[in-house]
Chain A
Amino acid sequence: MKQQELIDRLVREARQQDEHSIDLSSLEARVMDRISQGDAPRFPSAIPPRRPAWIPAAFGLAAAAAAGLVWYASLSPAAPPVVVVPPTPTAPLTAMHSSVEKFHTGTEGKLVAVPRMASLWLEGESQGSIEDAGERLSVVLDEGAVSLDVLPQPAPDRVEVIAGNFRVSVKGTKFRVARHQGQVEVDVEHGVVQVTPLDGSASPSLLRGPTGGSFPSKEASPSRELKPFVLGPQALNAPPSTATAAGSIASATAPGTPHESAVRAPSTATPPTPQPSLQEMRNRAYALASSCATGSSNVAPGVVVTIETTLALTVSSDGRVGTFSFSPPVSPTIEQCFQKGKSKLRGPTGSHAVPMTLSLGGR
């Protein structure tokens, strides 16, 4: 058992324990006796200090004076123009009883811990606010970057980061969100996060770690070129084009052969053919997985997301692919697509591993 789980268990047991067999009625009698005798408390300084009544008034006066100065400065022709920064559009906050705390880190970052939910590392020169609504933790990121390590929890969507016009919600994961100059970058170390445009302009994107995504925020300059954010070196060289990937798989699997007949042909009726080499099978498996990844993605247009994974597969004695698995796992849609297409793969008998970088989006 992990220590933190053990703490939770002991806390639960301690909560149930309450076994102070103290007679409250006699205790009440003693308290009332002491009150009637005018007993003084032993620790007078235990009472919270009363806030002097003039403090709120002083703050009010100071705020009014500051507002007056700003107004006067804006009237003066020599004064520098007053820049009004529009508020960042955010989703309506859900909870009634929530606390919002603004943060503006200096050059050094700051660690914020929310027990049993997450720990947040607010990187240097970051600003925004944290809203703790009990059941949900929201981080509104105005500038900078925040890394989150979210504990696995039964209820999803309890932790989120709102950066620009995107909501990054957590499914139990470790990730980092950065917002710089109109660009929102999401880097998922492990687990899954969902990136949803707040204005509903595109469908949500699921990012499964280790992966990353780059999203243009609303504040982005129109002339700014959108660069894909990639983790794997292979993805930098591989143009993420649906047409290219699909074409390559089509030509590689059955040149000149109708796909349906190849799938339906029983293994016993297939004449023995020379099995392709290991490298050829790897290329075909890679192409099939790439095709599945591109075809099943729901990434917003103009966005490229890459996934680094390793495909492990076993080839039986007849050269057909039996079991397979992706590690780290990919989405069920990609697995189902690969399951359907693997009947076309042939290779040398044995277990093989194919490391690959899959690209989602880029359409």
Chain B
Amino acid sequence: MSGLPPADSSVLLERCRQGDQAAFRQLFALYSPTVLRLVGRMLGRREDIEDTVQEVFLQVHRSLKDFRGDSKFSTWLHRVTVNVVLMARRAAQSRPSFAPAPPDEMLSDDRPWPDEDAARHQRLLAFQRCIDKLSEKKRTVFLLHELEGLPAAEIAEIVGAPILTVRTRLFYARQELADLMRQEPTLVALADLDETSETKTPPRDKLKSPPSNDPGQTKP
């Protein structure tokens, strides 16, 4: 969330605080792609993404007066987004689900996939499943650091924890991810292929499905 230079940003925020709707539209245009991306990465469920982004900006509109500029606006916005997503996840877990979609179809769409894209899509779905299995705290810092590229100091401010704690969570998140990935047949196959042929392009059919001659690998 790079946004505007601090001076421009403070002017825009001040206008938003005074109820200038045009300014808030400008703020939305500036930051909504980043909020959308972060919500998508943290939430995973396509059907809830739009509602959650709306919720984030409603919160921002209502609470902008409380933002005193002690931290960067982008850091504050990250914090609001993370909190909203966590609450949305908790709410989703507690509400009944009548027709649960299989995990692989949650992010899929109807477009035809070329082979290479399909393989990559499968890998990323498997990776997302592993990330989803991490605890809330580890998943949050992992996504903020690895996917959003935020430094540990800023993440510490966002999640309200000391920097050392953030680093420790990141360390264990990667360790747990490595263990979880060993249970994902798609990723196990990928690791095996890359070990046997470091430079060769792996065959596409092997990337898409686990090797059939490996009875030890079962889907979790």
Contacts and interface: CB of A to CB of B under 8 A. Distances in A.
Nearest to A53: B68
Contact of B50 (A22, A39, A42, A47): A22
Interface string B147-183: 1000111001000101110011011101001100110
Interface stretch (B5-13, B93-101, B188-196, B207-215): B188-196
A28 interface: yes
Contact of A115 (B88, B146, B182, B194): B146
B3 interface: no
Q: Point out which of B54, B84, B178, B187 has the most chain A C-beta atoms below 10 A from its C-beta.
A: B54
B187 A6 contact: yes
A132 B166 CA distance: 13
Contacts of A132: 151-153, 163
A32 B50 contact: no
A306 to B, nearest CB: 33
A254 interface: no
B209 to A, nearest CB: 18
B124 interface: yes
Interface stretch (A7-15, A190-198, A263-271, A351-359): A7-15
B6 to A, nearest CB: 13
Q: Point out which of A31, A34, A46, A50 has the most chain B C-beta atoms below 10 A from its C-beta.
A: A46
Assign chain B's interface to a size class.
35 or more
B168 A28 contact: no
A32 B168 CA distance: 40
Given A4-B178, A22-B50, A112-B164, A46 B80 contact: yes
Contacts of B41: 14
Assign chain A's interface to a size class.
35 or more
Given A115-B171, A119-B171, A27 B50 contact: yes
Contacts of B87: 42-43, 45-46
Given A13-B124, A35-B24, A46 B83 contact: yes
Contacts of A43: 55, 59, 83-84, 87-88, 91
Contacts of B162: 101
Contacts of A6: 178, 181, 187, 190-191, 194
B118 interface: no
Contact of B191 (A3, A51, A113): A3
A4 B191 CA distance: 11
> Interface SS of chain A: helix, strand, loop or mixed?
mixed
Contacts of B80: 46-48
A275 B101 CA distance: 80
Interface in B14-43: 21, 24-25, 28-29, 32-33, 36-37, 40-41
A195 B182 CA distance: 40
A132 B37 CA distance: 27
A136 B150 CA distance: 15
Interface in B114-159: 120, 123-124, 127-128, 145-147, 151-153, 156
Contact of A28 (B29, B127, B172, B187): B29
A348 to B, nearest CB: 40
A227 interface: no
A42 B62 CA distance: 12
B54 to A, nearest CB: 5
Contacts of B91: 42-43
Contacts of A114: 152, 167, 170-171
Interface of A: 1, 3-4, 6-7, 10-11, 13-15, 17-18, 20-22, 24, 27-28, 30-32, 34-35, 39-48, 50-51, 99, 101, 103, 110-115, 119, 130, 132, 134
